[in-house]
Each structure stands twice: as C-alpha cells, then as structure tokens.
Amino acid sequence: MAQFGWIDFSPKDRQRVGTILELMKPSGQVDELGIGTIRDGLADRLFPGISTIQTRAKYFFIIPYILQDFLRLSASERSRKTPSKYLDDREHEIMWDLAELYTSRGEENTSRVIGITKKRGERIVRRPSEIYWNGLNKFKCIDSKGISANSFLNNANKYSLETLAHSIEEEDNKDDLDAGFENFFNVKVPIKENWEKDLDLSLSYEEASYLREAIKDLDNTLLAYIISNKEVYEEFKISNSFSDFAKFCVKENISDELKRDIILAHDFAELMVGAHLAYNQELQNHFYQSNPFNDKWNDWYDNFKDRMIAPKYFDPNSLFVYTNSNKAGWFVNEWWKLVNTDTLDSLKKSKILKKQEILAKGRKARIYNNKRNDVKEAVPLGLGRLNYRFGNAKIIINDIFEGLKV
C-alpha cells in the first residue's frame, strides 16, 4: 500500500495538510454528471445562508460572540494572540465543552455538536467559523464585506498588529485607534454578557428573534416564506423532502417569482432522477450481464412528466440564471430534448451520457476509461434526488421556532 508523509513545519502547515486529507475522504454521494453547480445555485436561491454541513443555529451566534470577546481584550492581551488564533482556540474550547456536556446527557448522537467525537485536545479541520461564514453574513450576524473567512481574519491579524504598534508609539491617539479597532469585525448581533454561562445549543428568545427578522428580509426566498408563516412552517416540519414540500407551496398564495423558482427546482430534480438512472443503466450494461436499473428507468420514462409540476413550461435555459456552467448547460439541454419526445433515441441517450461523464470526470470517467473496479454490480452511483439543503434548513428553522417558544 502506498504511503506518504510531510515535514511538520508549523500549525498553519498542519492545517493545510489536514484540509487536503479531509477532501480526500470519500463522501456519501458524488456528482458523477457535473450538475452540482446548478443544484447549488438553486439551493442558494431557495435557502440562502444554509449549507449541507451546518448542524445547529446556535453557531450563528457563537462565532460573533467570540469575536466580540476578542474586542474586549486589553491591548496587552490582544498582543499575545492574533484574532484568527484567538478564534481558533476559543472555537475548540467550546467544542470540547459542548461535546462533554451532550455526552454526559447521553445525547451525543442527536446533539449535532460539531466535533462531538473529538476528545479534549483533539482538533478539527473545518471549524464552525468556516462552515457558517456565508450564513453569518447572509443573516446579518457579521459583515465581512464579501470576503472569505481566511482573508477576513488575515486582514484582522494585520490590523491588530498595526493597531498595537501605533498604540505603543502614539499614546495620545490610543483611544481613537482602539475605537476603530472595535468596529473592525462589523459584528451585528446584540452584545450578550456572560454568553458562555450554561452554554448549550438551544437559542434564547432574543437570538431566535434576531435570526427570524434577518431571514424575513431575504425577499422571495423559500427560507423567508417558511419563517414568516407559522402554518407553512408546520407543513414544512412534517414534509419528508423538498419535492413533497414544493407541491404544497405552489398551491399557496406566494409571489410569482418564488413560485417560479420552486417549480424550476422541483422539475429539474425530477429530470435529474432520470439522468442518474440512465447513467447507472449505462454502467451496468457496460460492465455486467444483468441490469437491475432497466425497470426503474422504464418506470421513470413512462411517468416523469406526470411527476413534474409544470413540464409544459420547463425551460433548461432558466436554470442558467443561477450558474454559468457550460458543461452542465450542454448536458441539461440535450437531456431535456432527448426525453421530451414521443420516441426515445436509445443510441443518442447513450452517447449523451458517455460524453457528459467525460466532461464531468475526465480521466476518472468510468465507461470511457473502462474502470470496472469502480463499478459494483447493482450498486447505484451518483446523486440521489436533489433536496437543495432541505434537511439542513429544517434543522436551522426548527431551532428558531423552538427558541421563540421560550
């Protein structure tokens, strides 16, 4: 078995290597056909600020609270740690505390604490500040002026050192410099004293209200529609999938823009169910004698228009408002033209799928490169039905409504 190693120069080098190793781990579902950019664009439109690795709403406050704590430090205390190092250390301390708390309660499998399996002293690759950064900005918890977490903190590190140097050289201007520094993080959430006392992952009423009002401002999004309507939330809570909830929403009194986005996302998801069934059909035909996907494909092809909400008005070009992916655009257009006919051209179907696999995977394309070892008999590959972060949105919204009960 091949092995590799590295020379451990610094904590920063260790973090970089850790990130690479994390990316090398196999994920649950791989985007075999290269349509993830469209899926993510639609998800950003429907559920802005939500990501697939967010776990609880409380982290939208923990990060700003830590940044506020750093601002309260004296100049001498700030000289001992950069903002990024301070945030790193505090995030891990809180992670260990929460892990021990929920483990002691016997809730380690349901708490959704980031890093719940880590023992005190062990660190994680992707911290909450990175996972939640986009949402922190989208929900007005902080304002990083559109730059990434790493860039923002690097700027903060530089500013912190410069402020300290100036404060030593120019004592007369120290108050002005500190005042400027205290506005640097652009933390927007209300300051909360002693926020770590009895800390768990439930939201206070004030925190839940803050998030609710911030999300309400995200006009014509599904997230705002749910958070603004208790009855809609109750239906959302019991829906098992985006597909089920979408069919409910389009019957409600919602804006034309939101209805259009919901229908487009729903019908695109249905269309891609067929594409992935056909792709697995191709793989099994290429490598094995029997094909368990034939019946599933035939059922889908016979019924997919009945399962779409508005097949008559489906236009693949509408998807590219959300992405500029030429590779995905070509495929979706060709796939829709192929299946939206009275007679299916099976040869063309095969050619489209093989070409798209090459465009999406290159040297990793299984059919073109004859990678039989990558394909197990009767085991499907690729994405399941697109859910657009529906499950993660449900967790965050549930936390908000639970907090509003307090």
Encode pLDDT of 68-98 as tens digits.
998 888 888 878 888 889 999 999 999 999 9
Confidence of residue 28 (pLDDT cuts 50, 70, 90): very low
Q: Please state which of the ranges 16-20, 95-99, 258-262, 265-269 shows the lowest mean pLDDT.
A: 16-20
> What tokens appear for 277 in the block?
């069934």
Residue 135 near residue 218 (C-beta atoms within 8 A): no
- Partnered with residue 187 across adjacent β-strands are 142
Check pLDDT > 50 for residue 379.
yes
Which uninterrupted H or E stretch holds 17? helix 11-24
Q: What would the mean pLDDT of 191-217 be, rounded to a whole number?
A: 95
Confidence of residue 40 (pLDDT cuts 50, 70, 90): very high
Percent of the chain surpassing pLDDT 70 = 85
Check pLDDT > 60 for residue 317.
yes
Percent of the chain surpassing pLDDT 90 = 72
Distance of alpha carbon 29 from alpha carbon 383, whole angstroms: 5
Higher-pLDDT residue of 13, 402: 402
| Coil, helix or strand at residue 319 | helix
Strands (DSSP E) contained in 36-186 are none
The predicted structure's pLDDT at residue 170? 44
User: How many other C-beta atoms are found inside a 10 Å radius of the C-beta of residue 79?
Assistant: 16
Confidence of residue 160 (pLDDT cuts 50, 70, 90): low
Distance of alpha carbon 196 from alpha carbon 188, whole angstroms: 18
Distance of alpha carbon 320 from alpha carbon 279, whole angstroms: 23
Most confidently predicted of 25-34, 138-147, 229-238: 229-238
Q: 10-16 long-range contacts, Cβ below 8 Å, gap at least 24?
A: 15/125
The predicted structure's pLDDT at residue 183? 57
Contacts of residue 60, Cβ cutoff 8 Å, sequence gap at least 6: 132, 135, 136, 139, 141, 211
The predicted structure's pLDDT at residue 157? 67
Check pLDDT > 70 for residue 203.
yes
Mean pLDDT of all residues belonging to the chain: 87
Q: What would the mean pLDDT of 90-111 be, rounded to a whole number?
A: 94
Residue 160 near residue 71 (C-beta atoms within 8 A): no
Which has the closest alpha carbon to 141: 54, 36, 21? 54
Which uninterrupted H or E stretch holds 77? helix 75-78
Domain ranges for the chain: 36-40+254-390, 59-201
| Coil, helix or strand at residue 187 | strand
pTM attached to this predicted model: 0.86
Most confidently predicted of 21-35, 62-76, 248-262: 248-262
